[in-house]
Amino acid sequence: MREKNCIFCKIIAGEIPARTIYEDEEFKVILDANPAAKGHALIVPKEHCANLYEISEELLAKAAKLAKKLAVHMTEVLKCDGFNLLQNNGEVAGQTVFHFHMHLIPRYEGMKNDDLLNWTHEQFSDQEQDEICQKLKLD
């Protein structure tokens, strides 16, 4: 259920303090300690699972439902102009805490962090894109 040295398991157990904006039997939603924007929050399941590969479909579906509810609520309260829902898996993808979580990031017109998700674009030929598309087809 919990992992020994996991910081989010410790937060859920109440061993490390966190600012909690929502809690139920299965989730805790906390403010990020290093927010990218005002109100940046994290949906954290109470059950330890490292990432998207490990989380059950059922729990993920509940997290997605909660994300919608919180995005609507936070947008109303914060009067933000947009919203990013972000979820990192693996070190190479930017994951630093290996307990599944979804980032709820309110976005504001003119905010200085406007390069938050500004990735550069890679070039692939039409043939390469066709091959990737073929490989990825899921029946």
* Contact positions vs Zn ion (CB under 5 A): 3, 6, 8-9, 48, 99
Query: Rounded to an integer, what distance in angstroms lies between the CA atom of residue 35 and that of residue 41?
Result: 8
- Contact between 123 and ligand 5GP (CB under 6 A)? no
Which position among 40, 48, 99, 101 bears the catalytic label?
101
- Which of 70, 98, 103, 99 has the alpha carbon at shortest distance from 86? 103
- Contact between 88 and ligand 5GP (CB under 6 A)? yes
Q: Which is nearer to ligand 5GP, 78 or 86 (CB)?
A: 86
Tokens for 107, please give them. 């976005």
Among Zn ion, ligand 5GP, none, what does residue 9 contact (CB within 5–8 Å per kind)?
Zn ion
- Contact between 97 and ligand 5GP (CB under 6 A)? yes
- Which of 105, 27, 97 has the alpha carbon at shortest distance from 61? 27
Q: For residue 92, what are the contacts with CB-CB under 8 A and spacing of at least 6?
A: none
Contact 22, 70 (CB under 8 A): yes
Strand partners, 24: none
Among Zn ion, ligand 5GP, none, what does residue 84 contact (CB within 5–8 Å per kind)?
none
Strand partners, 23: 28
User: Minimum distance from CB of 5 to Zn ion (Å)?
Assistant: 9
Catalytic residue status for 121: no
- Contact between 41 and ligand 5GP (CB under 6 A)? no
- Which residues of this protein are in contact with ligand 5GP, per CB under 6 A? 7, 16, 18, 30-34, 42, 88, 94-97
